[in-house]
Amino acid sequence: DADVTQTPRNRITKTGKRIMLECSQTKGHDRMYWYRQDPGLGLRLIYYSFDVKDINKGEISDGYSVSRQAQAKFSLSLESAIPNQTALYFCATSRAGMTDTQYFGPGTRLTVL
Amino acid sequence: AQSVTQPDIHITVSEGASLELRCNYSYGATPYLFWYVQSPGQGLQLLLKYFSGDTLVQGIKGFEAEFKRSQSSFNLRKPSVHWSDAAEYFCAVGVYNAGNMLTFGGGTRLMVKP
């Protein structure tokens, strides 16, 4: 079984709809991250969480919110989706050390019409 | 603020040829540097990372990278490319003062000709 799972893997929605993307991990890591990937821009950090009670905004948090329901679960919500939020979304986890590797889920492809 | 530039958006090489993917970074202190690979339809997998010591770093799948402080570069190399290396490659720098948050470059898509 995969260590970092994301659901759904693909989603098509309409402008104005509320969308939740979910991430679960079995690695026992405290830190979790949400990124979005756009062609030519690489990955950009949306939100990150160092533990259940520590959630922080990343580079591009506007229009997004998150919830850390447990050590293993970190959800990303789009309260009112807009077309420029069409992207590939990745969840990642890591231990707390500066050099520790981030482990990525398989991604969720979101299309907002 | 830190930044990462990957000057080559696309690269095509023949199978068996050598490969070098370029990465330049901008950061005010000694960086932590990473290379990730993204195969089609997959998440990102770590190839290698540098944080101190020997400036030539060995990674998985036969890849290596060399940290050159004077050039602010961390180029990825492989002596002989296999068709399975076709993927997108991302260079990233770790930020000191905020845990291990990563700033990514825009990526280089590698195509391999038979």
The token duo for A36 is 């979005």
Q: Which one, of B36, B11, B111, lies nearest residue A90 by Cα? A: B36
Full DSSP string of B47-89? EEEESSS-SEEE-GGG-EEEEEGGGTEEEEEESS--GGG-EEE
A100 to chain B, any CB pair closer than 8 A? The answer is yes
- Is the model's pLDDT at A34 over the cut of 80? yes
Report the pLDDT averaged over residues B87-107: 84
Residue of A nearest to B93 (CA): A99
Q: What is the pLDDT of residue B100?
A: 63
C-alpha distances (whole Å) from A110 to each of A79, A113, B87 are 14, 10, 21
A105 to chain B, any CB pair closer than 8 A? The answer is yes
Chain A residues close to B99, C-beta within 8 Å: 31, 48, 50, 96, 98
Angle at B37 between CA B10 and CA A23, to 5 degrees: 125
- Is the model's pLDDT at B83 over the cut of 80? yes
Residue carrying the six token digits 């770093």: B57
Report the pLDDT averaged over residues A37-61: 92
The token duo for B84 is 């399975």
Q: What is the pLDDT of residue B29?
A: 77
